[in-house]
Amino acid sequence: MLLRHTPKEVKDRKALTINPAKTCQPIGAMYAALGIHGCLPHSHGSQGCCSYHRSTLTRHYKEPVMAGTSSFTEGASVFGGQSNLLQSFNNLFSIYDPDIVAVHTTCLSETIGDDVSQITQKAIDEGKIPAGKHVIYASTPSYVGSHVTGFSNMCASIAKYFPEKQDYELDQVNILPGWVEPSDMREIKRLMSEMHVPFVMFPDTSGVLDAPQTGFHQFYPKGGASVPDLKRSGASSFTFALGKFSSEAAGEELRKKCDVPYEVMEVPIGINATDRFLMKVSEVSGCPVPESINDERGRVVDIITDMQQYLHGKKVALFGDPDILIPLTEFLLAMDMKPVHIVSGTPGKYFMERMKEIMGDDFETGNVKNGPRADMFLLHQWIKNEPVDLIIGNTYGKYIARDENIPFVRMGFPILDRIGHSYFPVTGYAGAMRILDKMLGAIMDQMDREAPEEKFELVM
Amino acid sequence: MEAAILKDRENQIFIKEQSQGEIACEKSSLAGSVSQRACVFCGSRVVLYPVADALHIVHGPIGCASFTWDIRGSLSSGPELHRLSFSTDLREMDVIQGGEKKLERAITELGELHKPSAVFVYATCIAGIIGDDIAAVCKRTAEKLGVPVLPVHSEGFKGTKKDGYKAACDALAKIVGTGDISGIPKVSINILGEFNLAGEAWMIEDYYRRMGVEVVSVMTGDGRIGKISKAHGVSLNVVQCSGSLTYLAEHMEEKYGIPYIRVSYFGIEDQSRALYDVADFFSFNPELRTKAEEIVREEISVIMPRIQYYREKLAGKKAAVYVGGAFKAFSLIKALRLIDMSVVIAGSQTGNKNDYKQLEELCDPGTVILDDSNPLELSRFVLEKKADLFIGGVKERPIAYKLGIGFCDHNHERKIALAGYEGMINFYKEVYSSVMSPVWKFAPRNNRRKSHE
């Protein structure tokens, strides 16, 4: 009983978070920056932040994650980090030779008031940024928002910096995939190819954080959105900003800078959200959804048909990032399951509004919370009061799942103890199949494990 | 990409019998380098983390707490409070208005909820910058809760991980000396700098008990406030992880006149020495030495035949060692030598001049010795020196694998006990399984090698 210290009685907490269902901005910014080819993220602050973010991303992806740090000392925190950042540019470009350095701040550099944009300008003015190289930056104070906010901020910076406005329109669309896995980005790209729709996707961590073993340690693996593609994105006819929390800001920047119209859509998880996404892509591009994709959809529906008796009425507790939870909840409801406890550490009113829309009456009877003190401790207390049949969330859910003996499906960030997330998508119809496979597997494995001998059956 | 060396780092790389002068170390990392180092807070957190009946409240934005949530497999035989993650989750308004009130409420609420034996309050970068008077809050709440509430001054930017160790020692020093020491026998020790990863502290304690030595406290593996409070009742402190707990040992020597010795529990030689040194300290009781010799004989006779198997398989293979503290590197070099493996790269994140001197003495000519290295250098030397194995921590693992060589974690991520005699077998087994894994048959590096042969 690892969480034996969790009491059943829910008391209002005022000042603390126990077992957080979120983390801080810079790691999101680092992840987004890794989705640009030849980009080296740089953390402007103490060494620890950078080290933690690299470690966590490394554990999640089992891949080398590179990033520089300004290595703040006490001096830098008193006199400001300008000289550290200038020296960093020197060293980063001369040693690691990135095409792009993506600087993000930390709570420390934000609080002492370092103006990264001014410092960067100074570096450019002083010729410290080699010709043809780029520096982008995002303000990512750790005490605002969450890791999702940091991801969004870095995406917005990418959208602000690279796309070039043109007076012509290219026959292509932009896809801002939101904070999803390399596998999901790969899947969305596959769907687009299947539909013959030309596109630019950024960030794109496929090929970066799921790189093959080559016998070399490549500082800049071959994946990631390229600079020419990013530049061209300014001439696209439309932008799909997937996930309001992670992609809306970038969509808006692209519109402001290059007049590319955009629509915020949900990350295509489950049948409804995928339907909506593909229909919209079809509408914008004029390319019909091909038979092959319709067949995939049909297979998902077929699985649900075959298995509905095991899905009906199953109570689910879920936690994670809002852009994932929203379509996932909708998918669970579509399968006649009952999402009863939902927690997201990421703040933002829209989450509750949208959940209310999706859940209808279930919203009132269920427990839904995001923002301050929406943490795993609370989720555990809710589960103690109203047990569930399944938990879906990142690795940290394993404590609750074990203590309460509840089947558990890993989905979200971070997943530190399993593989699969970077290779198999949860988006699109293929992703819906994988979610079904994982959920049914978890639920039925437990039934098999715990069924009394006389009720143990070959066929389920 | 051409693997270059940062000019300013050239003197932090030393090649035995090729380089001139001595290695530069104990420098802060260069701004802009991809350093493998962490911060002051990290140092404090990893040292104090295993104290299982205390609350560990991180006063800062959420990241500091979430990234250190249960990152060490430090086992507890009782309470599991240490495995929870408590944070004041500072928001923008707190940064503007100060976070003291929030902290005070957090300590009070948690104190009432969990009834801990003590509370550690970690100051992070931001708590330091906004100037919260954490010590005052701790004092006030300690009176209210009736248990020690200890500030840990671990603002991330105030130095390196090492300074965090010191901050942790300062906090521990406030607990030491507060307990009742009547009844503690003369033949008694504390084990310092042993964190009970995979139950290692239990193995070590058992050896000492079999010798007839009472272990009063382990700091901090399977740690309890009550035991730590009695730590000043012992005759000797035995320091395993020298980097982290030497400060406390020094403090206890000064304040309570308790001498300390440095030991290592990694490797047969060092493990045995760790038992003998303690026995020799209590030389008035020769029985201890006899028992120690018995234990060593017994344990070695069990593992030696098994080691022989690994030696036959692994002899001639080359290893790269890049670990946190230098002391661990010494033990690893000796342990690898025992199975006729050589070390071609040896480095640490936080070694001092003395450490590197010892390291140089221990290494073979041509060995690359590195201080505060980075992935570029590491992968360059691994290829250059044709290493077959990398021993390091979480961030090094995927680099080694990408290069197509075996890996052994000697840091946070390890799940098996590597200390003691049994640990040696575990270690060799892990090295063997990684270096000899059939996966390398499919690995491009192996193909490339073959085509060269």
Q: How do the domains of chain A map onto residue ranges?
A: 25-144, 170-211+221-289, 292-453
Residues B205 and B282 in one domain: yes
Kindly list the residues from chain A whose CB atom is less than 8 angstroms away from the CB atom of residue B375: 64, 66, 217, 219
Do A14 and B105 count as a contact with CB atoms less than 8 A apart? yes
Residue B206 domain-assigned (yes or no):
yes
- The CATH number fitting domain A170-211+221-289, selected from 2.60.40.10, 3.40.50.1980, 3.40.50.150, 3.40.50.2000: 3.40.50.1980
pLDDT digits (tens, 9 = 90+) for B77-110: 999 999 999 999 999 999 999 999 999 999 999 9
Does position B434 have pLDDT exceeding 80, yes or no?
A: yes
With b for 16 or more beta-carbon neighbours within 10 A and e for fewer, the A395-433 pattern comes to bbbbbbbebbebbbbbbbbbbbeeeebbebbbbbbbbbb
The pLDDT score that the predictor gives to residue B2 is 44
The pLDDT score that the predictor gives to residue B453 is 42
Kindly list the residues from chain B whose CB atom is less than 8 angstroms away from the CB atom of residue A59: 394, 413
- Rounded to two decimals, the pTM is 0.95
Q: Which domain holds residue B214?
A: 188-301
Enter the tokens of residue A74: 């006490």
Smallest CA-to-CA distance from B375 within A99, A58, A418, A86 is with A58
Residue B396 domain-assigned (yes or no):
yes
The DSSP secondary structure of B162-208, one letter per residue, reads: HHHHHHHHHHHHHHTTSS--TT--SSEEEEEEE--BTTHHHHHHHHH
Does position A35 have pLDDT exceeding 70, yes or no?
A: yes
pLDDT digits (tens, 9 = 90+) for A128-139: 899 999 999 999
The percent of residues in chain B predicted with pLDDT above 70, rounded, is 96
Do A72 and B157 count as a contact with CB atoms less than 8 A apart? yes
Q: In this predicted model, which residue has the larger pLDDT, A173 or A6? A: A173
Residues B55 and B155 in one domain: yes
Does position B28 have pLDDT exceeding 80, yes or no?
A: no
Smallest CA-to-CA distance from B52 within B285, B283, B220, B263 is with B220
Residues B275 and B401 in one domain: no
> CB neighbours (10 Å) of residue A38?
17
For A143, the closest chain B residue by CA position comes to: B91
The pLDDT score that the predictor gives to residue B446 is 65
Does position A274 have pLDDT exceeding 80, yes or no?
A: yes
pLDDT digits (tens, 9 = 90+) for B227-268: 999 999 999 999 997 678 999 999 999 999 999 999 999 999
Does position B449 have pLDDT exceeding 90, yes or no?
A: no
Maximum CA extent, chain B: 73
Confidence of residue B15 (pLDDT cuts 50, 70, 90): confident
Smallest CA-to-CA distance from A162 within A266, A43, A54, A260 is with A260
Mutant choice from A2, A3, A18, A344 vs B, greatest count of B C-beta within 10 A = A18
Residues B240 and B149 in one domain: no
Question: In CATH terms, are A25-144 and A292-453 the same topology?
Answer: yes
The interface pTM score, or ipTM, of the predicted complex is 0.94
| CB nearest A68 (choices: B32, B64, B402) | B32
pLDDT digits (tens, 9 = 90+) for B113-134: 899 999 999 999 999 999 999 9
Q: Which of B174, B201, B226 is the last residue of a domain?
A: B174
The pLDDT score that the predictor gives to residue A88 is 95
Q: What is the rounded average pLDDT for all residues in chain A? A: 96
- CB of B127 within 8 Å of a chain A CB? The answer is no
Do A56 and B445 count as a contact with CB atoms less than 8 A apart? no
DSSP annotation of A94: I
**Domain count for chain B:** 3
| CB nearest A91 (choices: B31, B63, B106) | B31
Residue B216 domain-assigned (yes or no):
yes
Residues B323 and B259 in one domain: no
Does position B452 have pLDDT exceeding 50, yes or no?
A: no
Residues B277 and B204 in one domain: yes
Mean pLDDT across A211-233: 94
- CB of B15 within 8 Å of a chain A CB? The answer is no
Kindly list the residues from chain B whose CB atom is less than 8 angstroms away from the CB atom of residue A17: 62, 65, 86-89
CA dist A196 → A155, A161, A189, A411 (Å):
25, 28, 10, 30
For A50, the closest chain B residue by CA position comes to: B38
Residues B101 and B213 in one domain: no
Does position B352 have pLDDT exceeding 80, yes or no?
A: yes
The pLDDT score that the predictor gives to residue B447 is 61
Residue B432 domain-assigned (yes or no):
no
CATH of the domain at B319: 3.40.50.1980
Residues B20 and B45 in one domain: no
- The CATH number fitting domain A292-453, selected from 3.40.50.1980, 3.40.50.300, 3.40.718.10, 3.40.50.920: 3.40.50.1980
Q: Under a CB-based contact definition with an 8 Å cutoff, are residues A399 and A2 in contact? A: yes
For B4, the closest chain A residue by CA position comes to: A95
Kindly list the residues from chain A whose CB atom is less than 8 angstroms away from the CB atom of residue B105: 14-16
The pLDDT score that the predictor gives to residue B178 is 97
Q: Which of B301, B336, B370 is the last residue of a domain?
A: B301
Residues B233 and B332 in one domain: no
Work out the minimum CA distance from B440 to partner chain A, whole angstroms: 10
CA A70 remoteness from chain centre: 26
pLDDT digits (tens, 9 = 90+) for B323-338: 877 878 888 999 999 9
Q: Under a CB-based contact definition with an 8 Å cutoff, are residues B35 and B393 in contact? A: no
Residue B431 domain-assigned (yes or no):
no
Residue B179 domain-assigned (yes or no):
no
Mean pLDDT across A330-342: 98
| CB nearest A143 (choices: B32, B61, B105) | B61
Count how many residues are written for chain A: 460
- CB of B147 within 8 Å of a chain A CB? The answer is no
Residues B146 and B231 in one domain: no
Query: Hey, which residues does A248 pair with through a beta bridge?
Result: none
Q: How many CB pairs under 8 A join A and B?
A: 268
The pLDDT score that the predictor gives to residue B448 is 58
CA dist A143 → A110, A192, B114, B124 (Å):
10, 37, 26, 12
Q: Which of B277, B301, B325 is the last residue of a domain?
A: B301
Residues B283 and B195 in one domain: yes
pLDDT digits (tens, 9 = 90+) for A244-257: 999 999 999 999 99
- CB of B36 within 8 Å of a chain A CB? The answer is yes
Class of domain A25-144: alpha beta
Residue B2 domain-assigned (yes or no):
no
Work out the minimum CA distance from B233 to partner chain A, whole angstroms: 32
Confidence of residue B291 (pLDDT cuts 50, 70, 90): very high
Confidence of residue B24 (pLDDT cuts 50, 70, 90): confident
Mutant choice from A104, A208, A213, A376 vs B, greatest count of B C-beta within 10 A = A213
Residue B328 domain-assigned (yes or no):
yes
Do A220 and B1 count as a contact with CB atoms less than 8 A apart? yes
